[in-house]
Amino acid sequence: MGKYRIAMLPGDGVGGEVLAAAKLVLDSIGFEADYRYGDIGWEFWKSEGNPLPERTIDLLKETDCCLFGAITSKPKEEAAAELAPELKGKGYMYSSPIVGLRQLFDLHTNLRPCRAYPGNPLNLRDDIDLVVFRENTEGLYSGVEWHPLPDEVRRALDTHPKMARYRAVKNEDIAVSARIFTRKGCQRIVHNAFEYAKAHGYPTVTVVEKPNVIRETSGLMVREARAIAKEYEGIELWETNIDAMCMWLVKNPQDYGVLVSSNMFGDIISDLSAQIVGGLGFACAGNIGDDYAVFEPTHGSAPKYAGQNKVNPIATIRSAKMMLDYLGEKDLATRIENAVARVIAEGRVRTYDMGGNSTTTEMAGAIAQAAKEG
Ligand code: IPM
Ligand code: MG
């Protein structure tokens, strides 16, 4: 019996390979866990009409936390076209199972550290150390969407003066995706960003929104951020619009520390932040709630590399390291972090994205060896 129960959800494409790589490293440092593998992803959408089967949700409930591989997501029509013939036309709607997990388990905080490891040839600069806090359950990902617009929704929207411009447009010619922010949602993501800045010695928290245009939702986030910032003496709140932030992240990324944003904008800045420190092959994430957490590489399922033992497993290995932090296994977490840094600095083992030709397994093996040596 291990000390922990860990759910393993490989998912699609390269998910299984990167998860196996992370497990190799966890095993090398003697992390004691019982692993339970669960079904998730495209295969189950096609065969069952549900990429997140009920049995998987039950499995997660019996574990301490989850390591997740990757998911293939496709737009509505393409997804429907791939359903098994007997399931077609029965009203099944594809929705991303990772987004589903985040909402179902109220994993409100998506934590995405992006730091430049010395010696990584892919760094834009070597002095970048960013941490993205992305609100993970609301905003444009709420899933409250319509097309065509139902009459009652139309009537409600028509009460807004700005709808006058759309008077002549028919309901079937309008699509609406609601951007829903709650005060609680804004408060907890900003609060967690400040707590992290305090605990890890970051001097600034930058709230990344667009309140000059998206007045109500972005406005709520920024107003709550101002109020919360008052509780943290010595940590400055910076306010930057999402468009400008994309520019600054390319121009002066070293000036920033903790970034906090809503779901969609956080999604965007986390890919950008990842790219300037090596790309998605290095980008780890923790979806963290009050009672449960799912750790995953930020990259997708990379179907064209599936089964080739080729992709960089560092993103998933670092996600496993974040999992150890979450479980309170600080020493083990530090061993993984140091091992990743060492292997990158030595530069002997490099996957294709780093300009080398080491395999997924070779990279994992090198990190496992370094972690074992301490
Ligand atoms: C991410 C991904 C997901 C998201 C996709 C796969 C649904 O891009 O975790 O950043 O949009 O959140
Ligand atoms: Mg993304």
Q: How many Cβ atoms from other residues are within 10 Å of residue 229's Cβ?
A: 18
Predicted confidence (pLDDT) at residue 43 exceeds the cutoff of 90 = yes
Give the residue with greater pLDDT, 2 vs 336: 336
Place of tokens 């998910």: 15
Going across the sheet that includes 236-241, the strands are 33-37, 4-11, 65-70, 293-297, 284-288, 109-115, 129-135, 258-261, 204-209, 236-241
Residue 90 has pLDDT above 90, yes or no: yes
Q: Specify the pLDDT at position 122.
A: 97
CA of 264 to the centre of ligand 2 (A): 8
Distance 25 CA to ligand 1 centre (A): 25
Pocket lining: 263 vs ligand 1, CB cutoff 6 Å:
no
Instruction: Say if ligand 1 is within 6 A of residue 99 CB.
Output: yes
Q: Is the pLDDT assigned to residue 105 strictly greater than 90?
A: yes
Q: Give the residue, by CA position, lying nearest to ligand 1 atom 1.
A: 298
Q: What are the DSSP calls for 278-298, one per residue?
A: T-GGG-EEEEE-SS-EEEEES
Can you tell me the distance from the alpha carbon of 94 to that of 136, in angstroms, rounded to the nearest whole number?
Answer: 19
pLDDT of residue 76: 86
- What angle is formed at CA 371 by the lines to CA 370 and CA 372, rounded to 5 degrees? 90
**Residue linked to tokens 């574990």:** 63
In short, whether 73's Cβ falls inside 6 Å of ligand 1 is yes
Per-residue pLDDT of 205-251, as tens digits, reads 999 999 999 999 999 999 999 999 999 999 999 999 999 999 999 99
**Secondary structure letter of residue 65 according to DSSP:** E
% of the chain surpassing 70 pLDDT: 100
Cβ 123 under 6 angstroms from ligand 1: no
Most informative mutation of 99, 107, 109 for ligand 1 (most atoms within 8 A of CB):
99
Rounded to the nearest angstrom, the distance between the alpha carbon of 3 and the centre of ligand 2 is 32
Residue of 68, 98, 114 to test ligand 1 pocket, by largest number of atoms within 8 Å of CB: 98
Q: What angle do CA 333, 338, 344 make, to 5 degrees?
A: 130
Residue 1 has pLDDT above 80, yes or no: no
**Cβ-Cβ contacts under 8 Å for 204 (sequence gap 6 or more):** 197, 235, 236, 237, 238, 256, 257, 258
Q: Give the position, in ligand 1's atom list, of the atom nearest the Cα of 99.
A: 7
* Rounded Cα gap, residues 245 and 269, in angstroms: 8
- Determine the distance separating the centroid of ligand 2 and the alpha carbon of 268, expressed in angstroms: 6
Predicted structure pTM score = 0.97
Mean pLDDT over 343-349 rounds to 98
Q: Average pLDDT for residues 316-328, to the nearest whole number? A: 98
pLDDT at 280: 94
Q: Does ligand 1 have an atom closer than 6 angstroms to the CB of 315?
A: no
- In the prediction, which pLDDT does 2 show? 87
| Average pLDDT in the chain | 97
Residue 346 Cα to ligand 2 middle (Å):
30
User: Which residue minimizes the CA distance to atom 12 of ligand 1?
Assistant: 267
Ligand 1 centroid – CA 32 distance (Å): 30
Q: At which residue do the structure tokens 């599936």 appear?
A: 306
